[in-house]
Amino acid sequence: MYEDKTLVCKECGKEFTFTAGEQEFYNEKGFENEPQRCKECREIKRNAARAQRKFSTAVCASCGGEATVPFEPREGQPVYCSECFSKIRENKLKEK
């Protein structure tokens, strides 16, 4: 049903292959548009977006340890380290 397609990256102009397997995956996920960037340019764009995140350090409301979070903590709102956050989340899922 699907055949490999050769596409041109809109960032670098290099040709890349949109494989039959990738096309099937896109279809299963409901994606309507073909990729516009090659794998390397997609990775660069993804990493650039991650680099712009601002991380803050706070004290974990549960264990008192250091918590690094991708947001600016607000006064009066508890902040948890990743380990405590995972435990709390796991307990909430068990309660449901």
Q: Which helix (H) or strand (E) element contains residue 58?
A: strand 56-59
CB 58 within 8 A of CB 74: no
| Residue 42 exposed, middle or buried by CB count within 10 Å (0-12, 13-18, 19+) | middle
pTM: predicted TM-score of the whole model, two decimal places? 0.52
Instruction: Read off the pLDDT of residues 4-41 as tens digits, 9 standing for 90 and up.
Output: 999 999 999 999 999 999 999 999 999 999 999 999 99
| Residue 81 exposed, middle or buried by CB count within 10 Å (0-12, 13-18, 19+) | buried
Confidence of residue 3 (pLDDT cuts 50, 70, 90): very high
CA distance 72 to 92: 24
